[in-house]
Amino acid sequence: MKTIYLDNAATTQIDEEVIEEIHSSMKGNFGNPSSVHQFGRKAKSAVETARKRIAKYFNITASEIIFTSGGTEADNLILQNAVLNLKVKRIVTSKIEHHAVLHTCNHLKETYDIIVDYVDLDEFGTVDTNHLEQLLSGSSTKTLVSLMLINNEIGNFLDVEKVVEICKDNNVLFHSDTVQAVGHYPIDLQKTPIDFIVASAHKFHGPKGVGFAYFKKGFGILPMLHGGEQEMGARSSTENVHSILGMEKALSIAVSNLEKDKIYIEGLKKYFISRLKNISDAIQFNGLSSNFTQSSYTILNVRFPYTNDMLLFTLDMAGIAVSGGSACQSGSNKGSHVLVEILNESNTNKTSVRFSFSKYTTKEEIDYVIDCLKK
């Protein structure tokens, strides 16, 4: 059976060069980076070299990078430090953030009695920056804004320059979940001074179980895990040496090919949209996912003009891997909190599917998916 993978916003295929890098490290670099002997020093040197290289891609210093198990841990580490270490009493976020942010904010609210406010969104899921300014203006409460750079379900871009400006004008901290952006778009943290960002290697053709948190210099970090002094005391646990090296390799490849990959994948997305419209004019696109200047080139969230609870299952049986995005989908009884927030009840109950593309996706695969959808 033909198999087609169009769920790259969930995870990506690992690059062959990354696999080779990890394999080489596993064979020849097995020391514990905390050990003082030559095997430990070799591993420590490799980790620190990777940290310096990763930092260079974002125009920051190596000491501002903390390696984690991925984006979720990085978001948790940042948000918990904001409250417990930086004495933040209020978090302003949106209701369509990743659950790594939303659930952590709820936990902090219940545990430490902080205030959580939600910025308004329009019907496309775009953050209302005027409302954000209203929420922050004149407040003396120490505040953190947490808004993702690219929404993982509908692909919307945040107007990050505007948000940075608003946060600076109101003397508040700014955290952005950048998981869907790192490795796909250039991020210069000197030109766009976000205080905290996160990354997860498996979103840009690296290994799973590894990522990082960026803390702007000057912020101390209290660890969530205790029992060691790794990661400059910010995260106890023996470093995942092989995966860290794999992540740096994946990021290096991604950064070297940013424009080429964007042009190729954007072309596939345009082609897919045109073929979908040829099937039916009633097919719609959620959020701004069909807008090429306001959404990620990797994500397209499609709303079909009917309800078919078995569509994901049917596509899977045809060898096509995608993600669901409607209130009732096969295998899920919760549906998408993002679509529930921005769509009316009628449209929420229609079947929505997130298709997400990568450099490994081909035009022939798009044609096969279209043929299956026609059937």
CA–CA dist 31, 330 (Å, integer): 45
Rg (CA), the chain: 21
Amino acid symbol at 372? C
CA–CA dist 137, 46 (Å, integer): 46
CA–CA dist 176, 90 (Å, integer): 16
CA–CA dist 322, 304 (Å, integer): 14
- Residue 331, sorted as left (phi over 0), alpha (psi -120 to 50) or beta, turns out to be left
**SS3 for 281?**
coil
Q: Which of 15, 69, 5, 70 is nearest to 255 (CA)?
A: 15
CA–CA dist 244, 196 (Å, integer): 20
Beta bridge partners of 176: 197
Q: Within a 10 A sphere around the Cβ of 42, how many other Cβ atoms?
A: 17
CA–CA dist 111, 273 (Å, integer): 45
Is 16-256 in CATH node 3.90.226.30?
Answer: no
The domain segmentation of the chain, as residue ranges, is 4-12+258-374, 16-256
Per-residue model confidence as pLDDT tens for the chain (375 residues)? 899 999 999 999 999 999 999 999 999 999 999 999 999 999 999 999 999 999 999 999 999 999 999 999 999 999 999 999 999 999 999 999 999 999 999 999 999 999 999 999 999 999 999 999 999 998 899 999 999 999 999 999 999 999 999 999 999 999 999 999 999 999 999 999 999 999 999 999 999 999 999 999 989 899 999 999 999 999 999 999 999 999 999 999 999 999 999 999 999 999 999 999 999 999 999 999 999 999 999 999 999 999 999 999 999 999 999 998 644 344 455 789 999 999 999 999 999 999 999 999 999 999 999 999 998
324 phi, psi to nearest 5 deg: -85, 160
Place of tokens 């921005």: 342
- Given the residues 105, 167, 328, 372, the one annotated as active site: 328
Catalytic site includes residue 328:
yes
Q: CATH assignment of 4-12+258-374, given 2.40.50.180, 3.40.50.720, 2.40.30.10, 3.90.1150.10? A: 3.90.1150.10
CA–CA dist 263, 139 (Å, integer): 43
- Residue 287, sorted as left (phi over 0), alpha (psi -120 to 50) or beta, turns out to be left
CA–CA dist 43, 310 (Å, integer): 49
